[in-house]
Amino acid sequence: KIYGKLMDTDELLDLVSEDKKFYMTSGGGVTLSGGECLMQPEFCIELLKKLKENNINTAVDTCGYADSDIFEKTMPYTDTYLYDVKAIDEDVHIKCTGVSNTKILKNLLMLDRFGKKTEVRIPYVPGYNDNQNDKIAVFLKELKNLTGIRVLKYHNLAGSKYKSLEMENTLPKEISTPEDMVCVRQKFEAYGLNVIE
């Protein structure tokens, strides 16, 4: 089944503007996410610009796997980036995602260099990236505009989607335990990083 409908940026702006009073009183705003929202860069940039013209706070939720010029074009209209970091070692990242993380880490450093507020999200997947925590912490400690990190508990809820699409389920079987999550958060805190629950 196809969910949702096609909309242009004006239609979407009208829709999200209905909650503008709520954004103003709560300090919130509009987050573009996905999938990967930056796979539709022209739409995202146009919408972000219109949101800023309407004094609406903006955030971009991204895995970071986009060309640097796309990030450069979003920067003037984005207040905060919510940014995934899955691994520092390239081979581990390729094993987890199928692609290199070179572009991802480069873009994160660029956002920081330009003073963009960034919250990093770290999906913790036992048996896949659990050996990356110290390396991620060392990398993140150098960022000047990091507002905090969130360690995300891995779940396999997407398993049913594989079945409905008649595809092989390649998701990891082992999920994170509450004890795992406490240990991982404590590890990042030991590096002096602000861990958001």
Query: Lowest-confidence range among 18-27, 44-53, 99-108, 151-160?
Result: 151-160
Distances in Å between the Cα of 80 and the Cα atoms of 28, 119, 139, 186 are 11, 7, 19, 25
Taking residues 62-91, report their average pLDDT. 98
% of the chain surpassing 90 pLDDT: 78
pLDDT of residue 151: 96
Task: Express each pLDDT in 111-142 by its tens digit.
Answer: 999 999 999 999 999 888 999 999 999 999 99
Task: Express each pLDDT in 90-118 by its tens digit.
Answer: 999 999 899 999 999 999 999 999 999 99
Residue 1 has pLDDT above 70, yes or no: no
Could you give the 3-state DSSP secondary structure of residue 34?
coil
User: Are residues 136 and 89 in contact, defined by beta-carbon separation less than 8 angstroms?
Assistant: no
Amino acid at 42: E
* CA–CA distance, 131 with 125 (Å, rounded to integer): 10
pLDDT of residue 167: 83
pLDDT of residue 5: 87
pLDDT of residue 170: 76
CA 169 to chain centre: 23
Residue 64 has pLDDT above 90, yes or no: yes
Residue 172 has pLDDT above 80, yes or no: no
Task: Express each pLDDT in 143-171 by its tens digit.
Answer: 999 999 999 998 777 777 777 788 887 77
pLDDT of residue 127: 86
**Please, which pLDDT band fits residue 175 given cuts at 50, 70 and 90?**
confident
Q: What is the enclosing helix (H) or strand (E) of 148?
A: strand 146-153
pLDDT of residue 166: 82
* CA–CA distance, 82 with 78 (Å, rounded to integer): 11
42 or 167, greater pLDDT: 42
Among 25-29, 35-39, 70-74, the range with the most confident prediction by mean pLDDT is: 70-74
Model-level pTM greater than 0.85? yes
Using CB atoms within 10 Å of the CB of residue 2, give its burial: 0 to 12 exposed, 13 to 18 middle, 19+ buried. exposed
